[in-house]
């Protein structure tokens, strides 16, 4: 009996291979979308930062110019008052005392402004240092506990950034474990119409809150997937 080679070739494409290929494409698309969204967010934040900085500089310039004009007008008025009271020593003394007091107040205000700016810069440096430390701790803990560093970095944004808080979250996350290229999928009670759920379906259950982190890891491993 002659075997139809075309039919034999078609039979070689099993549903499992098609499903794996489809899941790989879905994972790839999710990664591309994730990277694209991250770039858009980063570019948007950078642009907002530039706009805010330009606005703050413009406000500072306008405020400084207004203060300078006001000071010049006040000094001109005081000189006129002194000239008008040139024959009244007592009145001149009062005017000069007022001028000296105003000068000291101006110097004090300038010193206070510089102090405020210095404190703001220190706070900014401190914030950057905290972020750098948090990023370094996140990477180290993710490597040590073998969890997804990107996902961990997203979760620790809502903590105080301490190593203890980061590690506590990492311990609740599914581990990154290596799996064979074509793993044997054991029977699972989690089925849909008699067929085990796909990786995408399990991920959707986890994202939708139908299962917790521990259940997610168990179901992924039970289906032969890497959590």
Please report whether residue 99 resides in a domain. no
3-state DSSP call for residue 57? helix
Q: Are 171 and 145 in contact (CB under 8 A)?
A: yes
Please report whether residue 17 resides in a domain. no
Q: What is the pLDDT of residue 192?
A: 45
Please report whether residue 213 resides in a domain. yes
Please report whether residue 113 resides in a domain. no
Please report whether residue 188 resides in a domain. no
Mean pLDDT, the chain, as a whole number?
A: 76
Measure CA 10 to chain center: 49
58-96 pLDDT, tens digit per residue, is 887 777 777 777 778 888 888 888 888 888 888 888 888
Please report whether residue 143 resides in a domain. no
The whole-angstrom separation of Cα 8 and Cα 156 is: 53
Q: What is the pLDDT of residue 6?
A: 46
Please report whether residue 212 resides in a domain. yes
**Which parts of the chain fold into alpha helices (H)?**
5-11, 15-84, 89-145, 149-155, 163-171, 199-207, 213-222
155 Cβ contact partners less than 8 Å away, ≥ 6 residues apart: 169, 173
Please report whether residue 205 resides in a domain. yes
Between the alpha carbon of residue 74 and those of residues 20, 79, 88, 110, the distances in Å are 80, 9, 21, 17
Where is average pLDDT lowest: 47-51, 150-154, 191-195, 198-202?
191-195
Whether pTM exceeds 0.85: no
3-state DSSP call for residue 192? strand
139-168 pLDDT, tens digit per residue, is 999 999 999 999 888 888 878 888 898 999
Q: Are 175 and 223 in contact (CB under 8 A)?
A: no
Task: Average the pLDDT over 35-61 and give the result.
Answer: 79
Domain residues for 205?
A: 197-227
Count how many domains the chain has. 1
Calculate what percentage of the chain has a pLDDT beyond 70.
Answer: 78
């Amino acid at each position: 009996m002659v075997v139809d080679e075309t039919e034999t070739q078609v039979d070689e494409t099993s549903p499992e291979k098609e499903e794996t290929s489809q899941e790989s494409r879905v994972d790839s698309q999710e990664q591309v979308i994730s990277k694209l969204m991250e770039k858009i967010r980063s570019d948007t934040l950078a642009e907002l930062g530039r706009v805010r900085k330009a606005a703050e500089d413009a406000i500072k310039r306008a405020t400084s110019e207004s203060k300078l004009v006001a000071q010049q007008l006040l000094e001109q008025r005081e000189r006129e008052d002194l000239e008008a009271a040139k024959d009244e020593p007592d009145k001149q003394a009062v005017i000069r005392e007022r001028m000296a007091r105003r000068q000291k107040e101006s110097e004090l205000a300038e010193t206070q402004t510089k102090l405020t700016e210095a404190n703001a810069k220190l706070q900014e440096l401190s914030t950057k240092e905290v972020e750098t430390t948090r990023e370094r701790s996140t990477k180290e803990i993710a490597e040590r506990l073998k969890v997804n560093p990107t996902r961990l970095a997203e979760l620790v944004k809502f903590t105080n950034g301490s190593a203890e808080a980061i590690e506590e979250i990492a311990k609740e996350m599914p581990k990154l474990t290596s799996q064979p290229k074509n793993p044997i999928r054991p029977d699972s009670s989690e089925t849909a119409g008699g067929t085990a759920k796909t990786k995408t379906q399990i991920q959707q259950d986890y994202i939708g809150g139908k299962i917790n982190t521990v259940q997610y890891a168990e179901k992924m491993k039970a289906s032969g997937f890497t959590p």
